[in-house]
Structure formats: C-alpha cells, structure tokens
Structure 1
Amino acid sequence: MFPRVPRLLRLLIFTCLYMYCLLLLHTVRDAREAVSTKNKGLKGEFEARAAHVKTECALHPPPLSKMEIHARDATRVSPNLARYYSSLHLKAALKNVLYLPRRNLTWCLVAKVASTSMSRALLEIEKPRHPRTQQPIQVVLRNTFRPVELNKVNQTIGPSIKFLFVRHPFQRLVSAYRNKLENSYRLEDGEYFYKTYGRNIVQKFGRRSVEGGGREGGRRETEERKDPEVVYKREPTFPEYVEYLLHTDPTDYDEHWKPIAFQCHVCRFHYDYIIKYENFKGEIEYLLEILQKVGSLPANFKLEWENQGGTDDKTAAKYLDQISKDKRWKLYDKYRHDFLYFGSPPTLTKSMCGQPEQQVVYRVPYPRPPGELRAQYLPLPCDLNL
C-alpha cells in the first residue's frame, strides 16, 4: 500500500500538472500560429514577386533575341519562314527550362544559384541509381529531362507549377568569376573555361599575351603591365573579366554569368515561385512543403544545399572595388532586367561601410544616358559605391 498523500499536496500536484499542460498547449498553439503567419507572409511575398515580374515585363520588355528579330523581319517575306525562326527562338528558350512530367513541375536551371544542389536532389528521386559520370550533374539532369515538344508547351509547362532561384546579379557574376575563371588549376572544368573564355579575355582585353596555353605550356609577358606589383597569372583579372562583359551582348554570355531574365524567359513563362538566394533556406523549405502537400514531391525529398556561403555581399564588394564607378554603372546596366524584374538587391550592413551595424538601403538613380530623365529608383548596397 502506498502512503496516503495529503489532500493539500495532491491539489498542489494536480495544479502544477494542469498549469504545465496549459503552458504546453499554448506553446504549441503559438508555434503553429507563428508558422501559419510566416507561411501567409511568404505566400503573399511570392504572389507579389510574380505580379511584379509581370508588371515590369509590360513596362520594360526584354530585348528581342536574334531569332525573334529574324522572325519579325521574315513576316514580310514568308509566314512559314517567320514560324521557323519563332520555333528556333522557343527551342533556345527551353534550354534551361526543365519540365518534370510525372510531377507537374517546371524548374528553370540557373547556374550559380543552388543549381548543383537542386539538380542532385531531383536526379535522386527520378533516377536513384543513375550511373556515375564525369559530366556535371546539371548536364546529367538535362539529359534526363529532354525539352518538351514545341507544339506542346502550352499543355505541359503552362499548367505546371513553375519555380526558379534568383540571386543578386553582382554577387552572381563575382561568384562565377571566382569559381570558373580566377584559377584554372583549382577545378576540374578550369581548363575548359580557360581555353573557352579566359585565354581570349586576356588576349583581347588584357595588356599582356599568353603563349603555350596548356597547363604545362610556357608563358611570358610581352607588354609592361600597369601595376608591376601584381603577380603574373595566365587567367584574366577581374577588371579584364568586366571589360569582356561590357563589350559582349548579354544574350551571348555563358550561362554562369548570363542574366537570369534572359535564361529563364520570365516574360514568356510566368513563374509561380521566385526563390531569392539571400533567403534561400526559409523560402525553399516553404516551397518544398507546398510541393509535398500537393504530391509533386515525395515526403522524403531532401535538398542538401551545397556551395553555400562562397561569395557573399562583402566579398562581391571587394571585387567590384577593383573597377571604376563608371564601369560599375555600365555593368549595372548590362544586368538591368534582372534588377528590374527581381526587385531590390539584398541590403548590406552599415558595419561594412565603416559605420555601426544596422540594416540600411541606399537609393541611387537607375542608370540611363545623360539627358534622359527617369524617376525609377532602385536600392543598392552601400559597398558598391554606385
């Protein structure tokens, strides 16, 4: 027999248990309300982003592609020829747009914006036993999901759930330079990017020339460089890389630094979810939860975010500090559609500007030729000193 507990003590124990249960209940309820409020906020944010892109596409449509120009000109000669050029344009537009028929999903694959992580995760659920290969995982994914037939785009991609990841244009182009061009010996595809882009950039925009070209090839400097303190390297410097960007049509850029607006054709395909790289973790968790609820992704789908944190705002600002203010404006103009379509760049902290740490947004005029007035203003990080 257990000893009889005094009534007062029993009341005290029951009261404590009751209060604990109430506290637990309120904690769970508050947590659910917080999640619900956060989700409602994200839902509204995604809807606002999609609506913003549509508005900006109407106000500032992207330039016509070469095939679109040919199609426009061909309408005066032959409707069949015009349709042919239009089909070539649509085929090129679908290059980075991956449609997953079994899951009713469409994802625009953009290099340097979590593309490796998402490609690997999607490949695991579609072909869990895919053979190992030396090809980049993005190439394997593209080969797995062939582009849809041109005459079925409206029936396939149109009603599907469409999403893409975006990133601050300056941060992305700096990341591409550091990852693909800065050191050709560091990565497996370094030699490819050196032979395809790096060597040509140096020969055309650098005050030096390179002989040999291979990893073991000879090299020599034929002209005196502006800064004798800089250690010679065969790869292009960041200012030379910027010169290449400024003298090249953005539609001809490599996919690693090509504007996202031109890769994903956001004015042709209206994306439901535009995930910002700066808030990737919270926003992708919400999107995956939605896709799992509607059955587009399995419950065990996992996205392991790779290569995160390599190039942040502060790192990008250090590289951009190597070029003049005028060239930053010109570079900004090259990526103006990304700035317009995808909203404000990420804010930096005043501590990066030599001031007490505090979130701040500096507003600067949108670059246009002198003499042309424009009321468009966009927030930019103070470190870019535009």
Structure 2
Amino acid sequence: MEHSLSKPDKMAKSRLFRIFLILGSVFMILLIIIYWDDVGATHFYLQTTISGLYSSHLPPERHAASKQKLEDDKDGSFLSDIDAFVNQFLEGTSDPTEQVRVETPTGETHNQTSDKPEERFVPRREWKIHLSPIAVEKKQRQDNRKHMIRDLCSSNSSLDFPGKNRTFDDIPNKELDHLIVDDRHGIVYCYVPKVACTNWKRIMIVLSESLLINGAPYQDPLDIPVELIHNSSVHFTFNKFWKRYGKFSRHLMKIKLKKYTKFLFIRDPFVRLISAYRNKFELENEDFYRRFAVVMLKRYGNYSDPPASVVDAFAAGIRPTFSNFIQYLLDPNTEKEMPFNEHWRQMHRLCHPCQINYDFVGKLETLDEDAEHLLRILRVDNIVEFPPSHHNRTVSSWEQDWFASIPFESRKQLYQLYEPDFRLFGYPKPEKLLHE
C-alpha cells in the first residue's frame, strides 16, 4: 500500500511548482515583450509617424528624457531594448534600433539621445503631398518588372545561377548587410552601390531620424555630411540582427519582410561596371588603389613594383586600365581570394530577389519618375524629397567606346558573369558588344 506524502514533502513540491510557474511566466513575458518590440511596436510607429506631419518628430528635450542609448550596435542587449520599448510609450522615444552615435571629424557627437541637446526644434518642411492618382503606366511598369523577376526565379525557368534555389534561411548573415531597415515607416531598402545609393541612404537617414544636427533630426537629405552617409553604424541592417536578437533574428527578419515595403534600385550591369571603374580607379582613391589597383597592375599591367600610394601612381601616370579591370573580374582567382567588392558584385547577389519579394523595383534609367512614385507609395512625400540627379552620370551610350579595347571573347565571358542581372532586371542583351 502506497504511503501518502508527508506534509514537508507536499510543501516542498508546492514550492517547487510555484517557482516553475513564476519562471515560466517571466519567460513568456520576455518573449511577448521582445516580439512586441519588433512587431507590435512597428504598428505603433506606422500609426504615429506617417499619419501626422510632425508627429514622429520629437522635440530634443523629449529625446533627452529617454534611457541612455546603446553605445554601439555591438553593445546592444535585450534589456536595453525592453527599457527603450517601455520608454517609447512613457516618454515618446524612438525605437532602439534607430539610435546611433557617430563622431564627426570635428569631434561633435551625433547622438539620438544626447544628454545635453541644444534647445532647438525645427519642424519638418511642409512639402505638398501629391494627391493626384498615380499614372497607370507607372503601375504597369512596376508590375512588369516584378513579374519578370518572379518568372525567372521560378524553378522551371531557363535561367540558372548559383544561389537561385536557396531559401532565405540559407543566406548567410554577412550577405544581408545591404538591407537597411526603417522601423518608423515600415521600409526595407536594399542598396546597390553605383545606383544612386548615396541619395537613397540620405533619404533613409531622414526618415529614420537616426542622426541629429544641433539636437534635432536632419530635415534636408543634402545637409547630411558625406562622410556620415556611408558610415555603417548609421544604418540598421539585417546582418546586425543576430547581435541584438540572436536566435530570434531570422524570425524577426521574416516578419519585417512580410509587413514592410521593400524596394531596391538597379541599372544596366555593364554601365554600372563602367561607373565603378570611373569612380574608383580614375580618381585618387587610396583605399581602392591599395586593395585592388595594385593587384591589377601587377597581374595584368606589367608593373612588378607599382608605386606604394595612389598619389605617387597618379603623378607618374600609372593606373589600371579598363581592360585591366575586366581582366580582374574574369580571373577565377579573384573570387577565390575574396568575394567581389560591393561596387562590382552582381546586383542579385547583393539583394537576393529570388528570396525577397520586393514591392518596388526602381531603375536608375528612370530614377526621377521612380523616386517620385516610390515616395508616394511609402506615404512620405510630405516628409522628404529625393535630391536632384547627378548630371555626370555614366550612360549606356558610352558602352561601345568603353568596350572597344575589350576582346570579343572577354565581352562574352563578362556577359555570362552578369547574365542573371541582365535577365532578372529586364535589361536587353548587349548584342552589339557581343558580336564582331
């Protein structure tokens, strides 16, 4: 016959049950807060920052009342996220992922939650909101671009390339560093270098209010210092999620990709290569000279001992030719040593269009029209205006001259290397360059 438990044993079991119940409750509360911080709070932002002209622009004293911000992305933690989440309702502060600290060359700190911000508040510009209907041809243009990507990304299409059939979970975190997130307005932007990314990064900084000037967020994209635009700490990108959220990061990425408006801008792949060469090797760029030009000069330019600095090289009239650059791209050893630099890496490798269903696909060739269309879709055309286009832009009509010195066989190999970009994004095969 079984003996009944003694009174001390019953009390011990009861105490143990209460302990497990409390621990389980705490764990569930933390999960709910973490989930709400990135999903529920997003809907709060979407209701408060877009609906009103000034509602998302807080006076400096309100920013100063929040908890101390994260020192850097690498210092982020769940506890600081929870503190910031609570304070956004109590004090009206912004999402912690949007708070950054950047030291300017003059030593001034751009801090989203500075302890002593200057007592100044500049309201947003009251630009006219475009209320007329979006032209049917613009909508059709977007439908055609997205439809082409979907068709070619399907498993039964004729286009095949490495990584096409992998899932989003298969993409390494380091390959998600071009996806910039703005939680205030529910936007994900995949930036492609040499495709107006400087100006679009300016737009993202203004929208996310991630940088301050004299205690208030930047209002004009062109006012943002150039040296800060490409500072990686200014932008919150997908590859930073794992540092903050750990095993929850992929789940949160997928939620944002489902709920947010996702866009990218692309351009003719060969014209983009010409632009990259002009910008990085025809101008004095010390970093690109040391990392890439020296290699090109040694391997393909018959310079066994090229000058150590770009200043000395340019003074001596030494620089890699466009032909050297193409040789470098076609050399199998280039990718074996390291992945292509972002300025000439294939666009589909930067933005993963077969894994991410983009809501808007813009092109540099139609930049002005597409920019206006996109800002209206995002409902931020009353907050920000896209900066004027650069007049010294590389254009497709230059291709024939630039590729005149490139052998036809090399042109064909180069097309094969960038064929997925041509076809996915609807650029015609450059027949004139590929046939003698």
Q: TM-score range by the shorter chain?
A: 0.5 to 0.7
Residues 210-237 of structure 1: CA distance to partner in whole angstroms, max 9, x if unpaired? 3441245589xxxxxxxxxxx9733210
Residues 90-133 of structure 1: CA distance to partner in whole angstroms, max 9, x if unpaired? 31231101121111111101100000111112212333525976
CA spacing shift, 1:182–1:384, aligned 2, 3 Å:
farther
Q: Work out whether residues 166 and 276 of structure 1, in 8 Å CA contact, stay in contact via their aligned partners in 2.
A: yes
Is 1:160 aligned to residue 260 of structure 2? yes
Is 1:43 aligned to residue 139 of structure 2? yes
Q: Which residue is 2:399 aligned to?
A: 316
Cα displacement (A) at 1:151 = 2.9
Q: Work out whether residues 116 and 306 of structure 1, in 8 Å CA contact, stay in contact via their aligned partners in 2.
A: no
Q: Which residue is 1:263 aligned to?
A: 350
Identical positions, percent: 25
CA spacing shift, 1:341–1:280, aligned 2, 3 Å:
same
Q: Work out whether residues 372 and 386 of structure 2, in 8 Å CA contact, stay in contact via their aligned partners in 1.
A: no
Is 1:237 aligned to residue 321 of structure 2? yes
Alignment of 1:198-209 (within 5 A): 198-209=293-304
Q: Work out whether residues 346 and 418 of structure 2, in 8 Å CA contact, stay in contact via their aligned partners in 1.
A: yes
CA spacing shift, 1:322–1:130, aligned 2, 3 Å:
farther
- The equivalent position to 1:192 in structure 2, one of 270, 287, 291, is 287
Cα displacement (A) at 1:134 = 6.9
- The equivalent position to 1:108 in structure 2, one of 174, 179, 190, is 190
CA distance in 1, matches of 2:311, 2:279: 21
Q: Work out whether residues 39 and 286 of structure 1, in 8 Å CA contact, stay in contact via their aligned partners in 2.
A: no
Q: Which residue is 1:63 aligned to?
A: 162
CA distance in 1, matches of 2:345, 2:274: 12
Residues 247-300 of structure 1: CA distance to partner in whole angstroms, max 9, x if unpaired? 1349821111111011001111111111111111112211112211xxxx2513
CA distance in 2, matches of 1:136, 1:312: 28
Q: Work out whether residues 87 and 150 of structure 1, in 8 Å CA contact, stay in contact via their aligned partners in 2.
A: yes
CA distance in 2, matches of 1:337, 1:242: 18
Is 1:91 aligned to residue 186 of structure 2? no
Residues 331-371 of structure 1: CA distance to partner in whole angstroms, max 9, x if unpaired? 111101001100134xxxxxxxxxxxxxxxxxxxxxxxxxx
Indicate the SS of the match to 1:158: helix
CA distance in 1, matches of 2:434, 2:401: 9
CA distance in 2, matches of 1:383, 1:302: 38
Is 1:139 aligned to residue 231 of structure 2? yes
Q: Work out whether residues 261 and 337 of structure 1, in 8 Å CA contact, stay in contact via their aligned partners in 2.
A: yes
Q: Work out whether residues 91 and 150 of structure 1, in 8 Å CA contact, stay in contact via their aligned partners in 2.
A: no
- In structure 1, list runs of 5 or more residues that go unmatched: 1-31, 72-85, 185-189, 220-230, 346-377
Q: Which residue is 2:375 aligned to?
A: 288
Cα displacement (A) at 1:144 = 2.9
CA spacing shift, 1:245–1:46, aligned 2, 3 Å:
same
Indicate the SS of the match to 1:343: coil
Residues 138-178 of structure 1: CA distance to partner in whole angstroms, max 9, x if unpaired? 335x6331424223111112221111001000000000000
Alignment of 1:316-335 (within 5 A): 316-335=399-418
AA of the residue aligned to 1:55 = D
CA spacing shift, 1:315–1:204, aligned 2, 3 Å:
same
CA spacing shift, 1:314–1:269, aligned 2, 3 Å:
same
AA of the residue aligned to 1:139 = N
CA spacing shift, 1:381–1:329, aligned 2, 3 Å:
closer
| Matched length | 280
- In structure 2, list runs of 5 or more residues that go unmatched: 1-129, 215-223, 242-248
Cα displacement (A) at 1:136 = 5.2
AA of the residue aligned to 1:210 = D
CA distance in 2, matches of 1:270, 1:45: 16
AA of the residue aligned to 2:363 = K
User: Cα RMSD (Å) of the superposition?
Assistant: 3.0
CA spacing shift, 1:257–1:87, aligned 2, 3 Å:
same
Q: Work out whether residues 182 and 207 of structure 2, in 8 Å CA contact, stay in contact via their aligned partners in 1.
A: no
CA distance in 2, matches of 1:303, 1:64: 33
What TM-score comes out, normalization by structure 1 length? 0.65
